[in-house]
Each structure stands twice: as structure tokens, then as C-alpha cells.
């Protein structure tokens, strides 16, 4: 099947061709015709499957067909996402797909000044991508009018629920027209997702595509057993000997991310760290530098990395295994996207054996193990309990002023009591 077969407008086909997409991904093939029939959709699909184009293209197509381009700019579509990073990426994508249409989009999230967002909204916007907290601020300040929204998209809905946004979502629903098309994307179907869907979707069509990660053959996974004190040395060697140009490295804590980034610098490897304690601007800059190849390594905590979408990211390293097994799946899903090959390596010390066991139970497979010459673990070292944070005091408290943004900071780490 081609994009042409899907009956999309030539303005959209032109944008798709400019993106270099040759054919629709499975989620696009399934979702686009259903959305074009104006049906609500409940889709099981993760970031990395091409879901953003899967909902944006038919939405733009319907707007073009309804000739709404002739009317004044007003908010016709709202996309809600859990994090600032995902919101920015989704809006970048929408901008690209809508490039040749008359529709304008903007992104709204917390942790940055509200005034530039107000100015942008005043100019007239058709598509808004937002995190729930900051959107509610705009709603209560009456700086946004959502009374003519035709399309509502809940992106990574499971994460929004995980992050405690359910009441915010309900409040947002109250100001939206009842007559609208609602599309819900979620990586998992929990009871809570079903409840949300029952409440807000009208006889949705169910769409599911294969998970883009563990089962995917495009990500080669390996466990490197190593002593904790030698992880940095091993990582430096892997990067240097493999001549890795672009590697995303995960740590469990913000403090650990900072420390590793500094240590890599002393080893002569350029790197940047992103985590919830960094300002939005610092996070955006770090991500940009990484994408442009100005730094070889991006060290991230799980929450900061949510939604990060980097085309052709060849290497992911778990410097420390996550204590929540699902995070492993999300981490390695950053590589091997859109059919590209990726490699996910985990550096595992004896303290992390239990984490490894529960990850393998979750993904229902044994990850190949490697004992690298020169790095064999010292058998006399016994497992110790994992210290979960360099900033223990702050760990369970929301940070001031950020309790309602959609970002990787306060609410999420507070809610789950980690990182
Ligand atoms: P998403 O799941 O929406 O985050 O998309 C994941 C990645 O796939 C993004 O980098 C998109 O640019 C890319 N992508 C989306 N659709 C296609 C397609 N039809 N062909 C190739 N790449 C695509």
C-alpha cells in the first residue's frame, strides 16, 4: 500500500515525500482509513511506530476536505501528551506534515514562560499540542478557546494516567464540544485506559500493531556483566573502540546522570545530561546538541527521556538497569526505530541481578550475556542493596512551581517515588 492509495490530498503527499517516507507504517495503514471515516479510535501503538503521522495526516485531510481552510484560524484540533518532550516532537511532526496546508500549530507546556504561548495563540492557531497542566492554566486564564475543537487526540494516554493527569484530562474534557472525533493512543490496555475510553470515546474502532521494541528484531540486546566500579571504564572503551558517534545512556538517578556526564568529559567523550532538575531550555539544548552530533553521548533518566524520538539512534546503553521493568522496554525502544537496526547494551553488576531477572520475566526472554575479557566480575564481590538516589530528600517531593507542568520533573518522580 502507498500513501496515494489512502486517498490523501496532494498537499499532504508532497509533505510526506519531503519527509522521505516511502510507504505507510502498519499503524498508518490501519488508522488512516478509519479516522477518515470520522470514527473514534482506540489504538495500541507506541512511539516509534509512526503513530503521529497516523493521526495527523487523516486529521489534516479531513480539515482540508471540510474546507475549513477558508475560515478564520481557531483551535480545531487538540493533542494532549504526557511530557514536554513528546509535545515538542509531536508539534514538530505536525508542522512538517501541515507545511503545505493553511493550518498553523503550536505547542503548550509548563516550565517555560506562559506569555509567548499567549501571543502565539492570539495570532490564530488551528492545532494545539499541549501537556495537561499548562493547558488548564490557559483555560482558566481564558487565553485559549477550545469551544470549536473537532478532533481530540490523547497521545500516550497510559503515561498520562501513570503521571496522575486523569483529573486534569477530565477537566479539559468539560470545556470541549461533545460532538468531536476522539483518538486515544496507548502502549498498554489497562483497566484505567478502558475506563477512560468508555467515558470519552464513542464506539471506538480498536487498532493494534505489534510493539515496536522487545519483540522487534531490529534491536539487538546484550547484557555485559561487570563490576559496578568498572562500568565507566567499560562504557568509555565500548564508545571508543566501537567508534560510536551517537549513544543514549540511561542512569537511574539525576545525580548519577550528572556524574557520569562529567566523568565521560574527563575521558574525552563529549556528553550532555538531561533530567528533571534541568530547565526546559537546558534540556532542549542538550537534545539539540545530541541530535546535531555536537555531543556523542546523551545521559538521561527515564522520565527525561520519555517521548524522545531520535531518528537512526544506533546505540542505547543501560548504565544502570531500571528498577521498574517496563522502563527497560521503553529505554530500548528508543533505538531500532522505523526499521533501522539498533543495539541495546546493559551494564549489569551483581547488585542488579534481581532487576535483570524481573526484566527477563517481563519480556519473556533471556537476553544474551557477555563477559568481556578484562572486565570479568570479581566473584568475591557480594550484592548490596541499591541506593536509589543521590538526592534522596528531593526524590519524593514535587519541585516548586512545576507541580502542574507536563514535564519529566515533579509530578512524575513524585508519583512514582523514584529517580
Ligand atoms: P512516531 O511513532 O510518530 O513517533 O514516529 C516514529 C518515527 O518514524 C518518526 O521519526 C517519523 O518521522 C518516522 N516515520 C513516520 N512515518 C513513517 C513512514 N511512513 N516511513 C518512514 N518513517 C516514518
Please tell me the distance from the alpha carbon of residue 327 to that of residue 306, in angstroms, as a whole number: 10
28 CA to middle of ligand 1, Å? 10
Q: Is 4 left (phi over 0), alpha (psi -120 to 50) or beta?
A: alpha
| 81 Cβ inside 6 Å of ligand 1 | no
| pLDDT of 366 | 86
**Nearest partner of 205 among 36, 9, 409, judged by Cα:** 36
| 52 Cβ inside 6 Å of ligand 1 | yes
Q: Which atom of ligand 1 is nearest to the CA of 19?
A: 12
| 333 Cβ inside 6 Å of ligand 1 | no
48 CA to middle of ligand 1, Å? 6
379 CA to middle of ligand 1, Å? 45
Q: Where are the beta strands (DSSP E) in 199-266?
A: 205-208, 219-225, 247-250
Residue pLDDT, tens place only, 253-291: 989 999 999 999 999 999 999 887 877 788 888 888 999
88 CA to middle of ligand 1, Å? 15
24 CA to middle of ligand 1, Å? 9
The answer, yes or no, to whether residue 218 has pLDDT greater than 60, is yes
In what side-by-side order are the strands of the sheet with 369-370?
A: 271-274, 297-300, 247-250, 315-318, 342-348, 219-225, 369-370
Nearest-CA residue for atom 1 of ligand 1: 50
Q: Where are the beta strands (DSSP E) in 258-377?
A: 271-274, 297-300, 315-318, 342-348, 369-370
The domain limits of the chain are 3-208, 219-370
Cβ atoms < 10 Å from Cβ of 213 = 27
The answer, yes or no, to whether residue 150 has pLDDT greater than 80, is yes
| 334 Cβ inside 6 Å of ligand 1 | no
When the pLDDT of each residue in the chain is averaged and rounded to a whole number, the result is: 85
Residue pLDDT, tens place only, 299-321: 998 877 765 777 778 899 999 99
End-to-end CA distance of the chain: 44
SS3 state at 48 = coil
Which of 6, 24, 25, 155 has most ligand 1 atoms within 8 Å of CB, for mutation?
25
| pLDDT of 185 | 94
Q: Number of helices (H) and strands (E) in the chain: give both, helices first.
A: 17, 14
**pLDDT-derived band at 404, boundaries 50, 70, 90:** very low
Residue pLDDT, tens place only, 356-403: 999 988 887 888 888 888 898 888 888 888 766 543 333 333 333 333
391 CA to middle of ligand 1, Å? 37
Grid coordinates representing 135? Answer: 493547558
**pLDDT-derived band at 294, boundaries 50, 70, 90:** very high
SS3 state at 305 = helix
| 96 Cβ inside 6 Å of ligand 1 | no
| 47 Cβ inside 6 Å of ligand 1 | yes
Q: Which atom of ligand 1 is nearest to the CA of 212?
A: 2
Pairing of strands 77-80, 271-274: unpaired
Same fold, 3-208 and 219-370: yes
Grid coordinates representing 164? Answer: 496522575
The answer, yes or no, to whether residue 10 has pLDDT greater than 80, is yes
| 79 Cβ inside 6 Å of ligand 1 | no
Q: Looking up cell 484530562, which residue turns up?
A: 169
Which of 53, 86, 306, 311 has most ligand 1 atoms within 8 Å of CB, for mutation?
53
**Nearest partner of 162 among 306, 52, 49, 284, judged by Cα:** 306
SS3 state at 248 = strand
Nearest-CA residue for atom 18 of ligand 1: 21
Q: Could you tell me the CATH superfamily of domain 3-208?
A: P-loop containing nucleotide triphosphate hydrolases (3.40.50.300)
Q: Is 257 left (phi over 0), alpha (psi -120 to 50) or beta?
A: alpha
13 CA to middle of ligand 1, Å? 15
| 25 Cβ inside 6 Å of ligand 1 | yes
33-62: average pLDDT: 92
| 182 Cβ inside 6 Å of ligand 1 | no
CB 168 within 8 A of CB 132: yes
Residue pLDDT, tens place only, 96-116: 999 999 999 999 999 999 999
**Nearest partner of 313 among 325, 303, 300, 326, judged by Cα:** 300
The answer, yes or no, to whether residue 77 has pLDDT greater than 60, is yes
60-64: average pLDDT: 96
CB 311 within 8 A of CB 302: no
Which H or E run includes 16? Answer: helix 10-19
Please tell me the distance from the alpha carbon of residue 144 to that of residue 136, in angstroms, as a whole number: 9
Reply yes or no on domain 219-370 having CATH 3.40.50.300: yes
The answer to whether the pTM exceeds 0.85 is no
Amino acid at each position: 500500500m502507498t500513501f496515494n492509495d489512502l486517498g490523501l490530498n496532494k498537499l499532504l503527499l508532497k509533505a510526506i515525500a519531503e519527509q522521505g517516507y516511502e510507504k505507510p507504517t502498519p499503524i498508518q495503514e490501519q488508522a488512516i482509513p478509519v479516522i477518515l471515516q470520522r470514527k473514534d479510535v482506540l489504538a495500541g501503538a507506541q512511539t516509534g511506530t509512526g503513530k503521529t503521522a497516523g493521526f495527523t495526516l487523516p486529521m489534516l485531510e479531513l480539515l482540508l476536505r471540510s474546507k475549513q481552510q477558508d475560515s478564520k484560524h481557531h483551535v480545531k484540533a487538540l493533542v494532549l501528551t504526557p511530557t514536554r518532550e513528546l509535545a515538542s516532537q509531536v508539534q514538530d511532526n505536525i508542522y512538517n506534515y501541515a507545511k503545505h496546508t493553511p493550518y498553523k500549530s503550536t505547542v503548550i507546556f509548563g516550565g517555560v514562560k506562559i506569555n509567548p504561548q499567549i501571543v502565539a495563540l492570539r495570532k490564530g492557531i488551528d492545532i494545539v499540542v499541549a501537556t495537561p497542566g499548562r493547558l488548564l492554566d490557559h483555560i482558566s486564564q481564558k487565553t485559549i478557546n477550545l469551544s470549536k475543537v473537532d478532533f481530540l487526540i490523547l497521545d500516550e494516554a497510559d503515561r498520562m494516567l501513570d503521571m496522575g493527569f486523569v483529573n486534569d484530562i477530565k477537566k479539559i474534557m468539560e470545556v470541549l464540544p461533545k460532538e468531536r472525533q476522539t483518538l486515544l493512543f496507548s502502549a498498554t490496555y489497562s483497566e484505567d485506559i478502558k475506563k477512560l475510553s468508555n467515558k470519552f470515546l464513542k464506539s471506538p474502532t480498536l487498532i493494534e500493531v505489534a510493539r515496536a521494541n522487545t519483540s522487534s528484531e531490529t534491536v539487538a540486546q546484550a547484557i555485559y556483566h561487570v563490576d559496578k566500579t568498572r562500568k565507566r571504564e567499560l562504557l568509555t572503551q565500548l564508545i571508543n573502540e566501537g567508534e560510536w558517534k551517537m549513544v543514549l545512556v540511561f542512569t537511574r538517578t539525576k545525580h548519577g546522570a550528572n556524574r557520569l556526564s562529567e566523568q565521560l568529559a574527563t575521558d574525552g567523550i563529549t556528553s550532555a545530561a538531561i533530567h528533571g532538575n534541568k530547565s526546559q531550555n537546558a534540556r532542549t539544548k542538550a537534545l539539540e546538541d545530541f541530535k546535531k552530533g555536537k555531543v556523542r553521548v546523551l545521559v538521561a533518566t527515564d522520565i527525561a527521556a520519555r517521548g524522545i524520538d531520535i531518528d537512526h539512534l544506533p546505540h542505547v546503553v543501560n548504565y544502570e538497569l531500571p528498577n521498574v521493568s517496563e522502563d527497560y522496554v521503553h529505554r530500548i525502544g528508543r533505538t531500532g526505530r522505523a526499521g533501522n537496526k539498533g543495539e541495546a547494551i546493559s551494564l549489569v553488576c551483581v547488585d542488579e541481578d534481581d532487576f535483570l531477572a524481573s526484566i527477563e520475566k517481563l519480556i519473556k526472554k533471556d537476553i544474551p550475556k557477555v563477559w568481556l575479557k578484562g572486565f570479568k566480575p570479581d566473584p568475591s564481590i557480594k550484592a548490596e542493596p541499591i541506593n536509589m538516589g543521590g538526592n534522596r530528600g528531593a526524590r519524593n517531593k514535587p519541585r516548586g512551581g512545576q507541580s502542574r507542568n507536563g514535564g519529566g520533573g515533579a509530578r512524575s518522580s513524585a508519583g512514582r517515588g523514584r529517580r
